[in-house]
């Protein structure tokens, strides 16, 4: 007998359809989190939920409490078949209502939890990368938030495919580096490690914050600074990170091969330690 595992919950119930009037569908009015699950554990769950709550506060969306999210995740992962690595995605929209763009004064949010397959990266951790033609707009109110408006990333990913690249670096319209298509960025200049400031654009990744915190505690602080596009080619190492893939390195930037990997090895080990930790099961 074949067992069918639930892969989507909407407001805590097994469903895969949302109302056509939902503002997340109509306007991208909502936020999301994409999390790696290792053997039915979500190692960075508390950081994801903290960011989600902060994003909801910024947008004025009434968010469910932590226990609702945890119960939904438990329901998806506790039915078996969640061994190894899988991905859990949380989506929260403002729900339906309002007049045009004007949101309702008291929203009833739509809560979605999905379980997705984890696909191993055939390219490994050494990536071919270039600065993309696509540029990010600036918006200080939305900077740092992982909101549902992802058209810039969709167009950037399309450019990756057209140029046969594995990842791409995105600058804003002033020429300052912000992030990669689906990752935050660290650059190594001599003995200095820098990550771009995200005060006008970009997503403030939970793995980025984790690594900044760990390196500060270890006495090797990572600087947040503005990085102009012309400085990218001068970097000794370029590293990319997110909560699903951990830390990867740019092995080739255009035609230039980047040989140095000492900072990559240190940060990669830090990230892997997150996934290998056994204590603090789902609530860690």
Q: Residue ranges per domain, the chain?
A: 8-117, 126-276
Q: Tell me how far apart the alpha carbons of residues 217 and 195 are, in angstroms, rounded to a whole number.
A: 17
pLDDT for res 3: 47
Closest CA to 112 of 93, 87, 85, 86: 93
Q: What residues have CB less than 8 Å from 17, skipping those under 6 apart?
A: 10
Tokens of residue 209, six digits: 């914050």
Q: Tell me how far apart the alpha carbons of residues 52 and 62 are, in angstroms, rounded to a whole number.
A: 11
Give the pLDDT confidence of 18-57 residue by residue, as tens digits.
999 999 999 999 999 999 999 888 999 999 999 999 999 9
pLDDT for res 46: 94
pLDDT for res 264: 97
pLDDT for res 105: 85
Cβ 172 vs Cβ 200: under 8 Å: yes
Cβ 236 vs Cβ 190: under 8 Å: yes
pLDDT for res 40: 86
Fold observed for domain 8-117: D-amino Acid Aminotransferase; Chain A, domain 1 (3.30.470)
Q: Tell me how far apart the alpha carbons of residues 9 and 13 are, in angstroms, rounded to a whole number.
A: 5
Across the strands, what pairs with 115?
88
Write down the CATH number for the domain with range 126-276: 3.20.10.10
Across the strands, what pairs with 252?
128, 257
Q: Report the chain's terminal Cα–Cα distance, integer Å.
A: 35
Tokens of residue 104, six digits: 């309702």
* 273-278 long-range Cβ contacts below 8 angstroms, 24+ apart: 274/43, 274/44, 274/207, 274/210, 274/246, 275/36, 275/38, 275/43, 275/246, 277/43
pLDDT for res 87: 94
| Domain 8-117 and domain 126-276 have a common topology | no
Q: Which residues of the chain have pLDDT under 70?
A: 1-5, 79-83, 122-124, 277-284
Q: Tell me how far apart the alpha carbons of residues 126 and 80 are, in angstroms, rounded to a whole number.
A: 34
Give the pLDDT confidence of 169-202 residue by residue, as tens digits.
999 999 999 999 999 999 999 999 999 999 999 9
pLDDT for res 51: 96
């Amino acid at each position: 007998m074949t067992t069918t595992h639930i892969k989507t919950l909407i407001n805590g119930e097994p469903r895969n359809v949302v109302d056509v009037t939902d503002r997340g569908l109509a306007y991208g009015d909502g936020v999301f989190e994409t999390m790696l699950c290792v053997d039915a554990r979500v190692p960075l769950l508390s950081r994801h939920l903290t960011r989600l709550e902060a994003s909801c506060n910024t947008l004025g969306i009434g968010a469910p409490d932590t226990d609702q999210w945890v119960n939904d995740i438990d329901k998806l992962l506790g039915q078996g078949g969640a061994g190894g690595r899988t991905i859990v995605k949380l989506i929260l929209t403002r729900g339906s209502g309002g007049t045009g763009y004007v949101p309702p004064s008291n929203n009833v949010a739509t809560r979605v939890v999905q379980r997705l397959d984890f696909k191993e990266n055939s390219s490994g951790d050494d990536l071919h990368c270039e600065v993309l033609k696509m540029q990010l707009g600036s918006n200080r109110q939305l900077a740092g938030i992982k909101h549902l408006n992802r058209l810039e990333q969709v167009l950037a990913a399309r450019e990756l495919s057209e140029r046969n690249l594995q990842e791409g670096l995105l600058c804003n319209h002033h020429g300052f580096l912000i992030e990669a298509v689906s990752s935050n960025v660290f650059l190594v200049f001599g003995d200095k490690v820098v990550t771009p400031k995200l005060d006008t654009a970009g997503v403030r990744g939970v793995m980025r914050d984790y690594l900044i915190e760990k390196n500060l505690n270890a006495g090797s602080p990572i600087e947040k600074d503005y990085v102009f596009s012309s400085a990218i080619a001068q970097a000794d190492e370029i590293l990319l990170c997110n909560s699903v893939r951990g830390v990867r390195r740019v092995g080739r930037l255009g035609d230039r091969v980047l040989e140095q990997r000492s900072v990559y090895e240190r940060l990669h080990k830090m990230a892997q330690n997150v996934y290998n930790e056994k204590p603090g099961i789902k609530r860690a």
